[in-house]
Amino acid sequence: MKTKFLGIAIIVSSAIFGLPALAADAESCAACHGKDGASTDAKVPIIGGMSAEYLKGAMAAYKAKERPCPEATYADGPKKGTKSDMCKIAGETSDADTAAISTALAGKKFVRAAGQKVDAALAAKGKDIHDKQCDKCHTEGGSVAGDDSGVLAGQYLGYLSAELKDFKDGKRPMPKKMQPKMEAVPAADLDALAHYYASFK
């Protein structure tokens, strides 16, 4: 009898104490960002294969609410259908968990979005602007994770457009040296840049 109760007690307590750990592991990120951060949902950016440095920086910006936090819905997992946003999620994730998840994601491949429709003329125009203004930090079309400035090549078009607009409108902070380059790009040309990055297959 005694051992049976002890067994139940261990199961119950591990279920209770196991929950906070579960809430912050890579599985909970996968519910929206997909397996290994290779999102197949155009509303959610691909994050697997970015550098740990960049990922930690992005999480810190969300935690400090320095970046806009559009509402997002869990697409999978135990919280399926629940609404949240990256500021809440980053706020609920400890620095240690953020570091561990970032290192794990950095070891994965950045799997470029499949089947995106891009305008070839816009993409060509975007390449010209990129080569002049952006390639110094986002080398090879923004495809190199080691730049620590995010991976742009093959990211979802809608996400890219939204971020470029947020930078332009001063809603998302950017590095001091990126600012004059963004200012040199007319708002009407942001679409060309987004189409260029989305054109990487």
Question: Contact at 8 Å (CB) between 93 and 102?
Answer: no
What the block records as the tokens of 124 is 């060509």
Q: What minimum distance in Å lies between the beta carbon of 112 and ligand HEC?
A: 13
x/- mask, ligand HEC, residues 40-59, rule CB under 6 A, reads ---xxx-x------xx-xxx
- Per the listing, tokens 């960002």 go with 33
State in angstroms the smallest separation of the CB of 74 from ligand HEC. Answer: 5
- Min dist CB 107 to ligand HEC, Å, is 14
- Tell whether the torsion through CA atoms of 92, 96, 57 and 31 is positive or negative: negative
163 lies in the binding site for ligand HEC (CB under 6 A)? yes
> Does position 127 bind ligand HEC by CB under 6 A?
no
Residue with tokens 């930690």: 56
Q: Which stretch binds ligand HEC (CB under 6 A): 2-10, 12-20, 83-91, 109-117?
A: 83-91
Is the C-alpha dihedral spanning 63, 68, 71, 77 positive or negative? negative
Are the beta carbons of 184 and 168 closer than 8 angstroms?
no
Distance CA 51, CA 147 (A): 8
83: which DSSP letter?
Answer: E
65, 108, 125, 181: which one binds ligand HEC (CB under 6 A): 181
* Interface positions with ligand HEC (CB under 6 A): 28-29, 31-33, 43-45, 47, 54-55, 57-59, 61, 67-68, 70, 72-74, 84, 86, 89, 93, 101, 133-134, 136-138, 149-150, 152, 160, 162-164, 174-175, 177-178, 181-182, 185, 193
